Amino acid sequence: MLEVKKLSAGYGNIQILWDVSLKVNEGEIVALIGGNGAGKSTLVRTITGLLPANSGTVEFLGKSIDGLEPHKIAELGISHIPEGRKIFTDMSVMENLEMGAYPKNAWKNKKNTLKKVYEMFPRLKEREKQLARTFSGGEQQMLAMGRGLMSQPKLCIIDEPSNGLAPMVVMEVFEIIQSMRKQGITILLIEQNVKQTLEISDRAYVLENGRIVMEGDCATCLASEHIKKAYLGL
Ligand SMILES: Nc1ncnc2c1ncn2[C@@H]1O[C@H](COP(=O)(O)OP(=O)(O)O)[C@@H](O)[C@H]1O
Ligand SMILES: [Mg+2]
């Protein structure tokens, strides 16, 4: 579904990503793990068109999306659920969700999609008129994921959804991600919560200093000495 080939990108003269290649097949949850500053969000921004690539290509559903504007990429079916939630704090829950439905096709189905999102997140329905700024971190993450679903995506790229959340809430977030996959949405999950992420994903890539240093199925990654030492504190 998504194929990133030898992607390089950065900010001004500073190169952050070095020949990054990765694939996400339809129906998979693929994990991208790596520490702070590894370049994970830079990779997400390059895939979603927010940051231009210096070299390399990105294909989605067999077609190049290089150089397309972010809203065009969203219209093709990629939803970006950003790091730090980035919800619209002065808007109500419902307005936040509607903002996610701007891709043309999604707007037509807005009512139906909203109903489905409310079924997945009953708390959002209960509080649809409330300002998003009154929400806790976990609720804001649910709202960010609900908004991401409003575009009826084929692929969701979720950047550090568990960051800053209490363990119970992290479990809820990971359950939602699994239920998104059950509904047929393919997922690229960016995380620093390595153990839980590898437990719910199919395959993983490890990004360090802007380079992919390891890739494989999650069982293999969990058993790797490097992963154990560097990410699991074992
Ligand atoms: N807007 C920016 N301008 C300049 N440097 C940036 C910018 N955003 C991130 N960086 C730098 O790029 C590197 C990778 O950051 P980032 O992709 O956010 O890493 P991660 O998401 O893995 O924590 C870091 O060294 C960071 O300081
Ligand atoms: Mg990041």
Task: List, for residues 6-17, the tens digit of each pLDDT value.
Answer: 999 999 999 999
Residues near ion ligand 2 (Cβ under 5 Å):
40-41, 83
**CA neighbor of 34 nearest in space, from 46, 49, 44:** 44
pLDDT reading at 101 higher than 90: yes
pLDDT band at 105, cuts 50/70/90? confident
What is the model's pTM?
Answer: 0.96
pLDDT reading at 126 higher than 90: yes
Indicate the SS3 state at residue 44: helix
Q: Show the CA angle centred on residue 150, arms to residues 148 and 156, nearest 5°.
A: 35
Output the CA torsion sign for 151, 113, 83, 187.
negative
- Which atom number of ligand 1 is nearest to the Cα of residue 44? 17
CA 83 to ligand 2 center in whole angstroms: 6
CA 123 to ligand 1 center in whole angstroms: 34
pLDDT reading at 38 higher than 90: yes
Burial class (CB in 10 A: 0-12, 13-18, 19+), 48: buried
Class level of CATH domain 2-87+156-231: alpha beta
Give pLDDT, residue 104.
Answer: 85
Domain coordinates of the chain in residue numbers? 2-87+156-231
Query: For residue 36, which ligand has an atom nearest its CA?
Result: 1
CA 1 to ligand 2 center in whole angstroms: 23
- Average pLDDT value for the chain: 96
* Residue bearing tokens 């690539």: 53
* DSSP summary character for residue 67: T
Q: Give the other-Cβ count within 10 Å of 184's Cβ.
A: 9
Q: Cβ < 6 Å from ligand 1: which residues? A: 11, 16, 34, 36-42
Mutate to test the pocket of ligand 1, among 7, 11, 14, 207 (most ligand atoms within 8 A of CB): 11
Residue count of the chain:
234
